[in-house]
């Protein structure tokens, strides 16, 4: 199935640990995103990544770093986890270039629920 | 600052009881308004994109409309399976991300 997938689905860890969340899309899109959904279900952009251009939301702590090994993958590394990092993290993708093949629609993954104890 | 506001926060309907959800936005140069559906424990699922005032789109029991300042998601004769959180979003000015509203959680009982 064509989709945006994330691993793991659930992640429980202790404060101070470093963890990664992986995202893969097989839609052939050139732009990927990370969003954070807090306990009040509010979705907020963290990063967008188009080929080699990374656009960072200024409110995101530098403990968070996206890494893209190739166009189909965008991983999220989090260092020194804090209690406030507990949330659901969503990856999304979109095709932004290519004329007729570009789309304004972002397609989301199933989410990773991170719990920091 | 670009903003998206959805109302009501929660809506309870009986099966067959039609209603509307509202999404108001303040963004200059609107480049699309998006509606998503989110079920518990899942990612947002795309429903509609609207680009210009007066535009309407339909899918089964859902119809989305757009004015210059707001969008409505009309739900006609809802069924329990329509229960979900409905999210509205607009692109930010740079076009680099979506700005989401806080959503309307719809519960339809039989």
From the list B45, B89, B102, the residue facing A41 with the nearest CB is: B102
Q: Nearest-CA neighbor of A44 among A101, A100, A87? A: A87
From the list A40, A57, A109, the residue facing B43 with the nearest CB is: A109
Tell me: the pLDDT tens digits for A28-83?
A: 998 999 999 998 888 999 999 987 688 877 789 999 999 988 889 999 999 999 99
Q: Does B29 touch chain A (CB under 8 A)?
A: no
Tell me: the pLDDT tens digits for A81-112?
A: 999 999 999 999 998 876 655 677 899 999 99
Query: Do the beta carbons of residue A71 and residue A30 sit within 8 Å?
Result: yes
Tell me: the pLDDT tens digits for B56-75?
A: 999 999 999 999 899 999 99
Q: How confident is the model at residue A1 (pLDDT cuts 50, 70, 90)?
A: low
From the list A48, A105, A109, the residue facing B96 with the nearest CB is: A48
Beta carbons of B43 and A104 less than 8 Å apart? no
E-only strand ranges, chain B: 3-7, 10-14, 19-26, 33-38, 45-50, 56-59, 62-66, 70-75, 84-91, 98-100, 104-109
Q: Distance (Å, rounded) from C-alpha A8 to C-alpha B6? A: 31
Beta carbons of B41 and A111 less than 8 Å apart? yes
């Amino acid at each position: 199935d064509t989709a945006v997938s994330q691993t793991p689905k659930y992640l429980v860890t202790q404060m101070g640990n470093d963890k990664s969340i992986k995202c893969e899309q097989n839609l052939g899109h050139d732009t990927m995103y990370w969003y954070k959904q807090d306990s009040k279900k509010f979705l907020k952009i963290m990063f967008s990544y188009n080929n080699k251009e990374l656009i960072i939301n200024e409110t995101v702590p530098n403990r968070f770093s996206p890494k893209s090994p190739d166009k189909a993958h965008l991983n999220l590394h989090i260092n020194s986890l804090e209690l406030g990092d507990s949330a659901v993290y969503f990856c999304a993708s979109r095709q932004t270039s290519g004329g007729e093949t570009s789309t304004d629609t972002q397609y989301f993954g199933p989410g990773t629920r991170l719990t920091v104890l | 600052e670009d903003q998206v506001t959805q109302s009501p926060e929660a809506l309870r309907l009986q099966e067959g009881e039609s209603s509307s959800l509202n999404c108001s936005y303040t963004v200059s140069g609107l480049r699309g308004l998006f509606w998503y559906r989110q079920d518990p424990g899942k990612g947002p699922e795309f429903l509609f994109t609207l680009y210009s005032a007066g535009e309407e789109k339909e899918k089964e029991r859902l119809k989305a409309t757009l004015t210059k300042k707001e969008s409505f998601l009309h739900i006609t004769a809802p069924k329990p399976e329509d229960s979900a959180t409905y999210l509205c979003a607009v692109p930010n000015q740079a076009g680099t991300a979506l700005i989401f509203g806080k959503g309307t959680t719809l519960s339809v009982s039989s």
